[in-house]
Structure 1
């Protein structure tokens, strides 16, 4: 009985911390944003998750899809990256008001500069209205179903 009671106390002590860490789990994904919606509840993004590959892994994945250029018997992808979009499911994700947002082509049409820049959520949603971002990959971190970090992936 005493062993059972000690075991039960140990489980009850550890369980809340285990649940807290499970509840605050975060995931990373690469996505295309198909649209943004601003309402009184905040900003919601429509996200189409993609698979992003670089380097030799990009060549291998492109070869599986017959999407590469052959040179001396080896498969190569242009610009050393490959994007696959096997699941066209669109996810609706809220963006945190305090999300960390970094872009490299922010206002490139005005400045011709490619550099990392932090943006506010408001500036980001305004910039994302431009059609050129439809097929630009973004790396996101989602915590408890909410996007907390967005980083634009520069593609040449």
Structure 2
């Protein structure tokens, strides 16, 4: 059942990317990669919960690569497939060799930027809005709503300062 849900979610995202990319032509907002930095961790968020009045994220850190770096890592790890495909599929590559979960405290004023989520309970309402700011409370609601799309299937870039997550950016996956 999980595989069917994941497959359906990926198909919806793929279809929406075709529909929404056509509507994005002529706008000044477009996809821009999150630059890697020492204070940013990219991870799959497995859960969010309140602990003593503070939001805590449980996450599985990953290695995220895009563009030439993705092609290079893909070639290093699976040369035959990389040569056959001509590079990393869809321009990105994820390495997740260690599934150890990490806990991160979230600052109450953390900035959250989303790319794609269920805005209104309809498939039409799942449109790409690059770096759409949402409140932390709205983010918690988005992450708990998996009726049309499970938001835990997306990686997130977590910026950590002074031991707390101060920024959460959803990574769009084509």
TM range (shorter): 0.7 to 0.9
Aligned to 2:22: none
Most deviating of 36-45 and 46-55: 36-45
2:70 equivalent among 36, 54, 58: 58
Instruction: State the 4+ residue runs in structure 1 displaced beyond 4 angstroms.
Output: none
Pairs within 5 Å for 1:10-21: none
Distance 2:136 2:126 in 1: 22
**2:141 matches 1:123:** no
For residues 99 and 145 of structure 2, the distance between their equivalents in structure 1, rounded to whole angstroms, comes to: 21
**When the two structures are aligned, how many residues end up with a matched partner?**
129
Give the TM-score, by structure 1 length: 0.74
Q: Give the Cα–Cα distance (whole angstroms) in 1 for the partners of residues 67 and 88 of structure 2.
A: 9
* Structure 1 partner of 2:16: none
Structural RMSD (CA): 2.0
TM-score (norm 2): 0.67
Q: Give 1:40 deviation, angstroms.
A: 4.0
Question: What is the aligned partner in structure 1 of residue 83 from structure 2?
Answer: 70
The structure number with the bigger radius of gyration is 1
Pairing 1:90–2:105 present = no
Secondary structure of the corresponding residue to residue 105 of structure 1: coil
Matching residue of 1:140: 158
Higher strand share: 1
In the alignment, the residues of structure 1 paired with residue 55 and residue 155 of structure 2 have an alpha-carbon distance, to the nearest angstrom, of 19
CA deviation string 1:61-104 (max 9, x = no partner): 11222174434xx7411110001112212111111110000001
SS state at 1:139 partner: strand
Counterpart-to-counterpart distance in 2, 1:34 and 1:64:
28
Aligned residue runs from structure 1 range 39-50, under 5 A: 39-50=51-62
Cα deviation, 1:85-143, whole Å, max 9, x if unaligned, reads: 12212111111110000001132563131003111111111111245222211111111
